[in-house]
């Protein structure tokens, strides 16, 4: 909920502006996006990867996969960002999650944590903080 509030308050736009004005941050974000296809390939069983790379569209549809599945898996960054647009900030939730899972490879995550802390949100976590997440609440 708190990240959604940040997005509504303009943090997404401010993060994009920082990326556009800081070549080092921009490079780090591009690296983060470009590393996602390899991460996906590592997480997906190899037989599925082979199928995605070689299957005809009708074969993918037969197993309820979009013909775009291979393109998404192998040719997009975090949250489906085109690798041609790897300097774009699209969703603070995704960047925060990526940062929490992979660390400093994603330069937007620390900015989100900084903004959350600036809003008075306890970013240290507790054994009860999970109760603040409302999975029933939509975006």
Segment 43-58, tens digit of pLDDT:
888 888 888 888 887 8
Beta bridge partners of 82: 76
Q: What one-character-per-residue DSSP string does 71-119 give?
A: HHHHHB-GGG-BGGGTT----HHHHHHHHHHH-TT-SHHHHHHHHHHHT
Structure tokens given for 40: 């996906």
pLDDT of residue 125: 75
Beta bridge partners of 76: 82
pLDDT in tens, the chain (139 residues): 889 999 999 999 999 999 999 999 999 999 999 999 999 888 888 888 888 888 887 887 777 777 777 888 888 999 889 999 989 898 999 999 999 999 889 999 999 999 999 988 888 877 777 676 655 554 4
Helix (H, G, I), strand (E, B) or coil at 121: coil
Could you give the C-alpha distances from 4 to 38, 72, 122, in angstroms and in order?
A: 29, 25, 16
Nearest to 114 by CA among 21, 18, 27, 30: 18
pLDDT of residue 29: 95
- Residue showing tokens 């994009």: 16
pLDDT of residue 138: 46
As a whole number of Å, the end-to-end CA separation of the chain is 9
pLDDT of residue 139: 44
Q: Is the pTM of this model over 0.85?
A: no
pLDDT of residue 133: 63
């Amino acid at each position: 909920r708190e990240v959604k509030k940040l997005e509504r308050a303009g943090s997404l736009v401010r993060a994009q502006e920082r990326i556009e004005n800081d070549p080092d941050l921009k490079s780090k974000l591009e690296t983060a996006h470009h590393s996602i296809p390899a991460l996906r390939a590592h997480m997906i069983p190899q037989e599925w990867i082979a199928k995605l790379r070689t299957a005809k569209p009708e074969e993918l549809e037969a197993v309820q996969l979009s013909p775009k599945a291979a393109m998404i898996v192998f040719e997009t960054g975090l949250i489906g960002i085109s690798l041609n647009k790897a300097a774009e900030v699209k969703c603070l939730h995704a960047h925060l999650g990526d940062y929490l899972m992979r660390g400093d490879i994603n330069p937007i995550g620390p900015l989100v944590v900084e903004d959350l802390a600036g809003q008075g949100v306890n970013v240290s976590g507790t054994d009860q903080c999970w109760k603040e997440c409302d999975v029933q609440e939509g975006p």
